[in-house]
Structure 1
């Protein structure tokens, strides 16, 4: 897929990895729809990226991925503004096992909603032109984090969703690639705040979970993820960790 002139809808895009992904896509000539629950941060990102790359290339949509109607409206608004959607990146997430029901609804159900809506709007079998879905997983998708078991469960599920929806059986009908990118810790400077965990022992477990990981530069992670849009086959799973290029990994009962 040629990114120049393409249109990408990115969730959780006002800050962090999501915003970095938008900037990387804009650098490559795409238009982006910044979808986020935080309107202030979203409008700010839209304004700053619009000044840098052209206001006509950037749109902000207030979007709560736990609300299907609102999520659908973000797709409708993006389509009305740019006349097309080629790429959907389901990036929105939270990591807080103390609020595990919300965590499941954002991380897993939000990704499911985004995947189903993308297939509806992009699928050739639905009148679309095909395209690409990137579902953002985590290093915890591959190696369970003992400090955050519910978060880990949501990220494991994203692999199964992406592998199944991205299978050639579906791809030959929809023309939509579905890919999972398992992203390792980023250099955001954030530590593990105690409100993520139920007890101090979980904070100790967090230190164990992070042992051996090298926080990677967010911009390098975004470049790696965006490269998958052009290079990766549907149904594949990739790690993006330790400032290294994306690496495809197997997915089977015996490998993960």
Structure 2
């Protein structure tokens, strides 16, 4: 998919990975709508981007992915302003084992809610243009992070949802590709705060840090480059791309097929 003239929406866009996603999409010609609950950071980023790309290339909207009303209003404003949606980077997420129910609400329920509401505008069967949805998962969506069991569960859910939606979209003719981005440890505020957000598993903080030291930490720009690959490559659908300091790998999953009985 050539990004020139495309309209992208990024959730959790104000900081960290979302900010890097926003920047790389703009660098490649897309117009970007930034959604984030952090209004101060969102407005500050918007001002900086205006100076570099012009006011017409971005739109910031305060949006909480836990609120259906917020998301509906944000997508409606996007369509009214730019005419449609081609790309969704479903990126908003938190890591806090102490508030595990909220983590499920944001990381998994929020991701599903955003994707379903985006479908109303992107789905070719509903008059949309089709496009691509990339859900930000994690290496914890592919294997267990023992100090973060609920975070692990949410990211496994994101990967499963992504793969099932990719198959459903193909079978139904939605015209939308779905892929999951699964980075390892990334140099963000979320990563820095892990030791203080482990709740019952705070005694495993040292083991988690040792794992991070062994694996190394990614830059947000490297993660954003992998997003670009999943967006641009039209052959990628239902993929989970593991991103590590040692290289990137598309994950091979077991294949289940329907079979008729005798």
- Alpha-carbon offset, residue 197 of structure 1: 2.4
Correspondences of 1:103-252 after superposition (within 5 Å): 103-167=103-167, 170=170, 173-188=173-188, 190=192, 192-210=194-212, 212-231=214-233, 232-242=235-245, 244=247, 246-252=248-254
* Matched residue, 1:38: 38
Give the aligned CA root-mean-square deviation in angstroms.
1.9
5+ residue gaps, structure 1: none
TM-aligned CA deviation for residue 55 of structure 1:
0.9
Q: TM-score, normalised by structure 2?
A: 0.91
Retained in 1: the 8 A contact 2:183–2:223?
yes
Q: Secondary structure at the match of 2:214?
A: coil
What does 1:52-131 correspond to in 2, within 5 Å?
52-131=52-131
Give distance in 1, aligned partners of 2:201 and 2:44: 36
- Structure 1 position 196, deviation (Å): 3.4
Cα distance in 1, alignment partners of residues 116 and 246 from structure 2? 31
Aligned with 1:71: secondary structure?
helix
Provide the secondary structure at the position in 1 that maps to 2:111: helix
Q: Shift in Å at residue 180 of structure 1?
A: 0.7
Residue ranges of structure 2 left out of the alignment (5+ in a row): 257-262
Please list the CA deviations of residues 23-53 of structure 1 after superposition, one character each: whole Å capped at 9, or x if unmatched.
0000000000000001111111111112111
- Total equivalences in the alignment: 253
Check the 8 A contact 1:163/1:179 in 2, yes or no.
yes
Separation (CA, whole Å) in 2 of partners of 1:150 and 1:199: 11
The more displaced of 42-51 and 19-28 is 42-51
1:157-194 C-alpha deviation (Å, 9 max, x unpaired) = 11110000001664651000011110111123725332
In 2, distance between residues paired with 1:71 and 1:227? 26
Post-superposition CA distance 1:98-130 (Å, at most 9, x none): 000100000000110111112211000111010
Q: Which residue of 1 aligns with 2:260?
A: none
Normalising by structure 1, report the TM-score.
0.93
Question: CA 1:136 to 1:200, structure 2 compared with 1: closer, same or farther past 3 Å?
Answer: closer
CA shift in 2, pair 1:51/1:107, >3 Å: same
